């Protein structure tokens, strides 16, 4: 048998060419392509929007008739902003 790369005469049972090192057969398994890394841009933007909503709720609670409702909303939005950032960080770490 002849090497497909350099044309050297090699044994029929050879796995690679002894002269150039080129394999005599195609690989059985192909390597898996790595997944592209996602940027955390969407998570950062969502967290910023939630944080701005929380700030708005805090400022609105100062002039509202029922400030507890606005303060609760501010706490929920602030907590959601933090959770979005934490989940994005944990997902990005993998």
How confident is the model over 42-87, as pLDDT tens digits? Answer: 888 999 999 999 999 999 888 888 889 989 999 999 999 999 999 9
The answer to whether the beta carbons of residues 50 and 78 sit under 8 Å apart is yes
Q: In Å, what is the CA distance from 28 to each residue of 48, 66, 74, 75, 77?
A: 49, 70, 58, 56, 53
Give the total number of structural domains in the chain: 2
pTM, to two decimals:
0.56
Whole-number pLDDT of residue 94? 64
Q: Is residue 25 part of a domain?
A: yes
The 10s digit of each residue's pLDDT in 10-46 is 998 998 999 999 998 887 888 888 877 777 888 889 9
51 and 86 belong to one structural domain? yes
Residue 48 lies in a domain: yes
Tokens of 61: 């609670």
């Amino acid at each position: 048998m002849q090497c497909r790369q350099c044309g050297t005469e090699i044994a029929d049972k050879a796995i690679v060419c002894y002269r150039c090192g080129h394999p005599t057969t195609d690989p059985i398994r192909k390597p898996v392509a790595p997944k592209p890394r996602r940027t955390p841009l969407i998570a950062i933007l969502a967290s910023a929007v939630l944080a701005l909503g929380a700030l708005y709720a805090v400022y609105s609670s100062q002039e509202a008739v029922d400030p507890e409702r606005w303060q609760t909303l501010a706490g929920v939005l602030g907590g959601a902003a933090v959770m979005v950032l934490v989940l994005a960080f944990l997902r990005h770490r993998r």
